[in-house]
A and B are shown apart, each in its own frame.
Chain A
Amino acid sequence: MRSKLNYLTSVSLKRKIKTKWFLIANILLAIIIVGAINIDSIISFFGGDFDKKQEIYVIDNTSISYDIFNQQMKNISNSIKENKEEFNYKIEKYNKSIKDAKKMLENDDKKNNALIVVFNPSKENVIDVELISKEYIDIIDTQTITGAINNTKVALAILNSNISAEEINEIYSPIEIKRTFLDDEMTSEDESMEMIVTTVFPVIILPFFMLTIFLVQMIGAEVNDEKTTRGMEIIISNVSPKTHFFSKIIAGNLFVILQGILLVIFSGLGLFIRKLIGGSDIVGGLGDEVGGILSKLINSSFGEQLIYIIPLTLILMLLTFLAYSLLAGVLASMTTNIEDFQQLQTPIMIISLIGYYLAMMAGVFKGALFIKILSFVPFISAILSPSLLVLGQIGILEISISIIITIITIWLLIKYGLKIYKVGILNYSSNGLWKKMFKALKN
């Protein structure tokens, strides 16, 4: 039995790997992943410049607004940046007329993105401001500049009340907030996790979600291919349905594991290339806010927690792959063609999708019992439990329970699913299908 199982497994695996489509798909995947990791370098290569500072030319008809605006821009920029040294604006005082400034923007291609801020004195509003640009302005820049202009206006108003410029700067300097938790176990890192779970986690679990869909569809397609060609009759006349069933499950799981490893390799390659071409680290590429939090987390006690979070998540994911593949095999045996299978697998895909969205929004539920119970549900626990574990809403005990429940599900799928499979794979009629399957379960 073992040799035929090995043989069927190897044939099934070769049928998936030794195809030009597998090669083409992986070449495309490698290009996409490496490209996505190095997207800033690619954009820079084609003319974009991530390091280029936003140029702002200030025409100050009030004679004192420029200095205050300059300082306020630095203050606001510092308050949202992790790297305090980094200032992405090049602010210059422009001493010529608005007309000349507009001409400069129109005639110089290098200044396409440059902005002109014109401060005019106003009796009613302290200052009136005009913002001139050749192109649309980035939303973050707009917010920063608007904030700085508002602060400048208030500062000018205060200045008119005889408060010194130094005092005004002190008023507007960012406040350092000391965060204190009454519970000693609570940390600001945990507090930041919600953002990580909603922004970074979906990216990390997306490959698992995609591989699950791929696994289910692949097993369904293969079983149905053998059924529709009636090759199944020849195969089952030579090997038992049990051997056939397990060969499909093993081959399917080996394939997705291989595909998962390839995805990790492609990501590693992308990071390596990023380092090679001198791009900033991957954390830096995630955006200032998330990147900053992630850097902090990796260097904090959370980094140590990854030692058990990663293996537990991997175990749960592998077990869930197994459960999905068993269910796919059983469902595929019941259908007579791939179209029927695709309809039958839709509820599974919806369950998986629900798990994906729940995992993304895990932080919103604030540790509600409902979400904790859902994290034990097989098929979605592999996505949901790790996100709750990262958020600190469940512990090792809960994730261990999820693992045990998934193992029990696998055992049930093998015990009862195999009975359905034995009857289903040689059934070519959808008439009285459920009756046949229930009868198979009883036998």
Chain B
Amino acid sequence: MLKLENITKYYGDFLAVDKLTFEVKEGEIFGLLGVNGAGKTTTFRMIMGLLEPSDGSVTLDGKKIDYSVTDKIGFLTEERSLLTKMTVKEQCLFYGTLKGMSEDKILSRLKELLEKFEISEYYDKKIKELSKGNQQKIQFITAIINEPKLLILDEPFSGLDPFNVELFKSEIVEMAKKGSIIIFSSHRMEHVELFCKKLVVLKNGKPVLEGELSDIKEKYRKKNILVKGDIDLDKIRTLDGVIEIIEKPLEFEIKIDNIEVAENVFKIVSKGKNVTKFDVVEPSLNEIFIAKVGESYEK
């Protein structure tokens, strides 16, 4: 289990991370979210042991993370962390050996992963000759080549097309099933919603939202109603608790303050014509994020 207890990091007088606490068990995928400069990279670096927290502790299975356990960790950085003059084989051998793996094991695992990601032909190609998406695949392969117990993924889907996002997702889920602890950061909220049971949202180094995703959504009082049909929108707008109505190509999205408002909306909708849909749904994580952080993650 990965445990962060009250970790705090100061850069001079600047507070980068403030008393952050969470734990991630084996098989869990944990989301660490926040806008740029929120403290995600600093947190990742403290987990990796690259930075010493000003206060608090980070432990993996009860032990402080140091160079004796880094062989069990996989790390995918937000920026490309590949040495572009190396070939794919050399790069994987380099990072794999630093993880304490034997050359034979690295090469057999590399071949397996290259086949899985359908890029076997790039085995002897230089990294700089690969496309951005394929470089990201190689970076992902170098992060998981040692079948890590703790896998840290900072924006893993960057530069990937939807097909390859699916490939990555299935591999991440598979690793979680095998018992890896996965910490995940992504700009794509739908991925976070799909993967992460637990998450923490950072703002200026402070956690502003944390816990189980289902609890977070449940606690968030605002709901959305999706309606299809000819309805009296002006009348709905006059109702107390209706925040906004978004006219989409095929339906209307009515944002309400709380679930009790839905009943009043339903009364008006039921008087409309050709009504084929009335669905009260949870707000998306992105909406909750914007509401809590005050700005979009994509910004």
Across-interface contacts of B142 in A (CB, < 8 A) = 234
CB–CB A230/B79 < 8 A: yes
CB–CB B75/A225 < 8 A: no
> Given A426-B45, A432-B12, do A237 and B70 touch, yes or no (CB 8 Å)?
yes
CB–CB B98/A231 < 8 A: no
CB–CB B83/A225 < 8 A: yes
Chain B: minimal CB distance from A424 (Å): 13
Chain A's closest residue to B154 (CB) is A233
CB–CB B12/A233 < 8 A: no
Determine if A122 is an interface residue (Cβ-Cβ < 8 Å): no
Q: Which of A229, A233, A234 has the most chain B CB atoms closer than 10 A to its own CB?
A: A234
Chain B: minimal CB distance from A15 (Å): 7
Give the distance in Å from the alpha carbon of A7 to the alpha carbon of B100 in the complex. Answer: 11
Across-interface contacts of B71 in A (CB, < 8 A) = 238
The 0/1 profile, CB within 8 Å of A marked 1, for residues 48-76 of chain B is 11110000000000000001001101010
From A4, A7, A8, A230, contact of B81 by CB (8 A): A230
Chain A: minimal CB distance from B292 (Å): 28
Give the distance in Å from the alpha carbon of A39 to the alpha carbon of B49 in the complex. Answer: 60
Determine if A236 is an interface residue (Cβ-Cβ < 8 Å): yes
Across-interface contacts of B98 in A (CB, < 8 A) = 4, 7-8, 234-235, 238-239
Give the distance in Å from the alpha carbon of A232 to the alpha carbon of B98 in the complex. Answer: 12
Across-interface contacts of B51 in A (CB, < 8 A) = 426
Across-interface contacts of A235 in B (CB, < 8 A) = 98
Chain A: minimal CB distance from B181 (Å): 16
Total B residues in contact with A, Cβ cutoff 8 Å: 25
Chain B: minimal CB distance from A38 (Å): 37
Chain B's closest residue to A225 (CB) is B83
Chain A's closest residue to B47 (CB) is A237
Chain A's closest residue to B98 (CB) is A238
Give the distance in Å from the alpha carbon of A426 to the alpha carbon of B82 in the complex. Answer: 15
Determine if B6 is an interface residue (Cβ-Cβ < 8 Å): no
From B73, B83, B99, contact of A231 by CB (8 A): B83
Q: Which of B83, B95, B97, B142 has the most chain A CB atoms closer than 10 A to its own CB?
A: B83
CB–CB A236/B50 < 8 A: yes
CB–CB A238/B94 < 8 A: no
CB–CB A230/B50 < 8 A: no
Determine if B80 is an interface residue (Cβ-Cβ < 8 Å): yes
From B45, B75, B84, contact of A234 by CB (8 A): B75
CB–CB B50/A231 < 8 A: no
CB–CB A234/B50 < 8 A: no
Determine if A226 is an interface residue (Cβ-Cβ < 8 Å): yes
From A229, A233, A435, contact of B75 by CB (8 A): A233
Give the distance in Å from the alpha carbon of A226 to the alpha carbon of B85 in the complex. Answer: 11
Determine if A97 is an interface residue (Cβ-Cβ < 8 Å): no
Chain A: minimal CB distance from B51 (Å): 8
Residues of chain A from 389 to 433 with CB closer than 8 A to chain B in the complex: 426, 432
CB–CB A229/B80 < 8 A: yes
Across-interface contacts of A237 in B (CB, < 8 A) = 48-50, 70, 73, 75
Residues of chain A from 198 to 250 with CB closer than 8 A to chain B in the complex: 225-226, 229-240
Chain A's closest residue to B93 (CB) is A11
From B45, B49, B70, B82, contact of A229 by CB (8 A): B82
CB–CB A234/B95 < 8 A: yes
CB–CB A229/B81 < 8 A: yes
Across-interface contacts of B85 in A (CB, < 8 A) = 15, 225
Across-interface contacts of A238 in B (CB, < 8 A) = 67, 70-71, 95, 98-99
Give the distance in Å from the alpha carbon of A435 to the alpha carbon of B84 in the complex. Answer: 32
Determine if B77 is an interface residue (Cβ-Cβ < 8 Å): yes
Chain A: minimal CB distance from B47 (Å): 10
Give the distance in Å from the alpha carbon of A426 to the alpha carbon of B85 in the complex. Answer: 21
Chain A's closest residue to B90 (CB) is A11
Chain A: minimal CB distance from B68 (Å): 11
Give the distance in Å from the alpha carbon of A373 to the alpha carbon of B200 in the complex. Answer: 63
> Given A7-B97, A426-B45, do A234 and B81 touch, yes or no (CB 8 Å)?
yes
Give the distance in Å from the alpha carbon of A439 to the alpha carbon of B12 in the complex. Answer: 9
From B50, B75, B81, B99, contact of A426 by CB (8 A): B50
Chain B's closest residue to A237 (CB) is B48
Give the distance in Å from the alpha carbon of A215 to the alpha carbon of B71 in the complex. Answer: 32
The 0/1 profile, CB within 8 Å of B marked 1, for residues 5-16 of chain A is 001100100010
Across-interface contacts of B99 in A (CB, < 8 A) = 238
CB–CB A239/B77 < 8 A: no
CB–CB A230/B94 < 8 A: no
Q: List 27 A-B contacts (CB under 8 A).
A: A8-B98, A11-B94, A15-B85, A229-B81, A229-B82, A230-B77, A230-B80, A231-B81, A233-B75, A234-B81, A234-B98, A235-B98, A236-B50, A237-B49, A237-B50, A237-B70, A237-B73, A237-B75, A238-B67, A238-B99, A239-B67, A239-B98, A240-B67, A426-B50, A426-B51, A435-B12, A439-B12
List 7 A-B pairs, minimum CB-CB distance, nearest first.
A238-B98, A230-B81, A230-B79, A237-B48, A231-B83, A234-B81, A231-B81
- Beyond the given A225-B85, A238-B99, A239-B67, please list 20 additional residue pairs across the A-B interface where CB-CB is below 8 A: A8-B98, A225-B83, A229-B81, A229-B84, A230-B79, A231-B81, A233-B48, A233-B50, A233-B77, A233-B81, A234-B81, A234-B95, A235-B98, A237-B49, A237-B73, A238-B67, A238-B95, A426-B50, A426-B51, A435-B12
